[in-house]
Structure 1
Protein backbone atom coordinates (compact mmCIF):
# COMPACT_ATOMS: atom_id res chain seq x y z
CA UNK A 1 0.00 0.00 0.00
CA UNK A 2 1.25 3.49 -0.82
CA UNK A 3 0.73 6.45 1.46
CA UNK A 4 1.54 10.12 1.10
CA UNK A 5 4.21 11.50 3.43
CA UNK A 6 7.23 13.82 3.57
CA UNK A 7 10.67 12.66 2.54
CA UNK A 8 12.06 13.00 6.08
CA UNK A 9 9.63 10.29 7.27
CA UNK A 10 11.23 7.38 5.42
CA UNK A 11 13.79 5.26 7.26
CA UNK A 12 17.10 3.91 5.96
CA UNK A 13 16.41 1.12 3.48
CA UNK A 14 12.99 2.45 2.46
CA UNK A 15 12.21 3.91 -0.95
CA UNK A 16 9.71 6.51 -2.09
CA UNK A 17 8.64 8.34 -5.22
CA UNK A 18 8.67 12.15 -5.25
CA UNK A 19 5.21 13.65 -5.58
CA UNK A 20 5.90 17.39 -5.30
CA UNK A 21 8.50 19.94 -4.20
CA UNK A 22 7.02 22.55 -1.90
CA UNK A 23 10.32 24.41 -1.47
CA UNK A 24 11.05 27.72 -3.12
CA UNK A 25 14.04 29.90 -3.82
CA UNK A 26 17.59 28.61 -4.07
CA UNK A 27 16.93 25.31 -2.29
CA UNK A 28 14.22 24.47 -4.84
CA UNK A 29 16.65 25.21 -7.66
CA UNK A 30 19.32 22.98 -6.08
CA UNK A 31 16.89 20.10 -5.58
CA UNK A 32 15.71 20.37 -9.18
CA UNK A 33 19.34 20.51 -10.39
CA UNK A 34 20.13 17.17 -8.72
CA UNK A 35 17.12 15.59 -10.41
CA UNK A 36 14.64 15.63 -7.56
CA UNK A 37 11.52 16.03 -9.70
CA UNK A 38 8.07 14.45 -9.69
CA UNK A 39 8.29 10.71 -10.25
CA UNK A 40 11.91 10.32 -9.08
CA UNK A 41 12.65 7.21 -7.03
CA UNK A 42 14.51 8.06 -3.79
CA UNK A 43 16.04 5.68 -1.25
CA UNK A 44 17.07 6.70 2.26
CA UNK A 45 20.54 5.20 2.75
CA UNK A 46 21.34 6.59 6.19
CA UNK A 47 21.21 9.32 8.78
CA UNK A 48 23.99 11.24 10.47
CA UNK A 49 24.70 10.26 14.10
CA UNK A 50 22.67 13.25 15.30
CA UNK A 51 19.76 12.31 13.02
CA UNK A 52 20.08 15.31 10.68
CA UNK A 53 20.86 15.41 7.76
CA UNK A 54 19.78 12.19 6.10
CA UNK A 55 21.45 10.68 3.03
CA UNK A 56 19.35 9.75 0.02
CA UNK A 57 20.20 7.86 -3.17
CA UNK A 58 18.85 10.02 -5.99
CA UNK A 59 19.52 9.05 -9.62
CA UNK A 60 22.73 7.23 -8.72
CA UNK A 61 24.18 9.88 -6.39
CA UNK A 62 24.04 9.97 -2.59
CA UNK A 63 22.86 13.40 -1.44
CA UNK A 64 22.53 14.69 2.14
CA UNK A 65 19.38 16.73 2.73
CA UNK A 66 18.57 18.55 5.96
CA UNK A 67 15.36 17.67 7.75
CA UNK A 68 13.98 21.20 7.38
CA UNK A 69 14.34 20.87 3.59
CA UNK A 70 13.13 17.26 3.31
CA UNK A 71 9.87 18.15 5.09
CA UNK A 72 9.06 20.29 2.04
CA UNK A 73 9.23 17.29 -0.33
CA UNK A 74 6.06 15.21 -0.54
CA UNK A 75 6.36 11.57 -1.54
CA UNK A 76 4.41 8.40 -2.18
CA UNK A 77 5.97 5.96 0.23
CA UNK A 78 6.69 2.48 -1.13
CA UNK A 79 6.17 -0.39 1.34
Structure 2
Protein backbone atom coordinates (compact mmCIF):
# COMPACT_ATOMS: atom_id res chain seq x y z
CA UNK A 1 0.00 0.00 0.00
CA UNK A 2 1.05 3.57 -0.64
CA UNK A 3 0.98 6.49 1.73
CA UNK A 4 -1.05 9.60 0.92
CA UNK A 5 2.17 11.62 0.52
CA UNK A 6 3.15 9.33 -2.41
CA UNK A 7 0.10 10.33 -4.52
CA UNK A 8 0.79 12.97 -7.16
CA UNK A 9 -1.20 16.16 -7.67
CA UNK A 10 -4.46 15.84 -9.65
CA UNK A 11 -4.79 12.15 -8.74
CA UNK A 12 -7.33 10.38 -6.57
CA UNK A 13 -6.75 7.75 -3.89
CA UNK A 14 -8.92 5.74 -1.54
CA UNK A 15 -8.26 5.44 2.20
CA UNK A 16 -7.30 1.95 3.36
CA UNK A 17 -6.05 2.50 6.90
CA UNK A 18 -4.97 5.16 9.40
CA UNK A 19 -1.70 4.65 11.26
CA UNK A 20 -2.24 7.56 13.64
CA UNK A 21 -3.31 7.16 17.26
CA UNK A 22 -5.05 9.16 19.97
CA UNK A 23 -6.19 12.72 19.31
CA UNK A 24 -4.67 12.81 15.82
CA UNK A 25 -6.62 9.68 14.82
CA UNK A 26 -9.86 11.19 16.13
CA UNK A 27 -9.15 14.42 14.21
CA UNK A 28 -8.50 12.51 10.97
CA UNK A 29 -11.72 10.52 11.36
CA UNK A 30 -13.69 13.71 12.13
CA UNK A 31 -12.28 15.33 8.97
CA UNK A 32 -13.58 12.42 6.87
CA UNK A 33 -10.48 10.25 6.45
CA UNK A 34 -12.39 7.01 6.99
CA UNK A 35 -11.83 3.67 5.29
CA UNK A 36 -13.06 3.83 1.69
CA UNK A 37 -13.16 7.63 1.51
CA UNK A 38 -12.04 9.11 -1.81
CA UNK A 39 -9.28 11.75 -1.62
CA UNK A 40 -8.33 14.16 -4.43
CA UNK A 41 -4.84 15.68 -4.23
CA UNK A 42 -5.31 19.33 -5.26
CA UNK A 43 -2.01 21.17 -4.71
CA UNK A 44 1.17 21.31 -2.67
CA UNK A 45 2.33 24.31 -0.68
CA UNK A 46 5.74 25.91 -0.58
CA UNK A 47 8.56 23.49 0.20
CA UNK A 48 6.04 20.62 -0.26
CA UNK A 49 5.33 20.63 3.49
CA UNK A 50 1.57 21.30 3.20
CA UNK A 51 -0.72 19.57 0.74
CA UNK A 52 -4.37 20.45 0.04
CA UNK A 53 -6.75 17.50 -0.30
CA UNK A 54 -10.44 17.31 -1.12
CA UNK A 55 -12.26 14.83 1.11
CA UNK A 56 -16.05 14.43 1.08
CA UNK A 57 -16.48 17.83 -0.58
CA UNK A 58 -14.21 19.77 1.82
CA UNK A 59 -10.71 21.08 1.18
CA UNK A 60 -8.26 20.17 3.92
CA UNK A 61 -4.55 20.99 4.24
CA UNK A 62 -2.33 18.44 5.98
CA UNK A 63 1.35 18.51 6.87
CA UNK A 64 3.60 15.86 5.37
CA UNK A 65 3.97 14.04 8.70
CA UNK A 66 0.16 13.81 9.03
CA UNK A 67 -0.54 12.61 5.50
CA UNK A 68 2.29 10.11 5.83
CA UNK A 69 0.14 8.27 8.40
CA UNK A 70 -2.67 7.57 5.91
CA UNK A 71 -2.40 4.39 3.81
CA UNK A 72 -4.21 4.53 0.45
CA UNK A 73 -4.74 2.50 -2.71
User: Normalized per residue, which structure has more helix?
Assistant: 2
Alignment correspondent of 1:42? 39
Q: Distance in 2 between matches of 1:17 and 1:72?
A: 14
> Is 1:74 matched with 2:61?
no
Unaligned runs of 5+ in 1: none
TM-score (norm 2): 0.95
Alignment correspondent of 1:21? 18
| C-alpha deviation, 1:26, in angstroms | 1.1
How many residue pairs get matched? Answer: 73
Unaligned runs of 5+ in 2: none
| C-alpha deviation, 1:20, in angstroms | 0.2
| C-alpha deviation, 1:67, in angstroms | 0.6
Q: Distance in 2 between matches of 1:67 and 1:36?
A: 15
TM-score (norm 1): 0.88
Structure 1 residue ranges (4+ consecutive) displaced by more than 2 angstroms after TM superposition: none
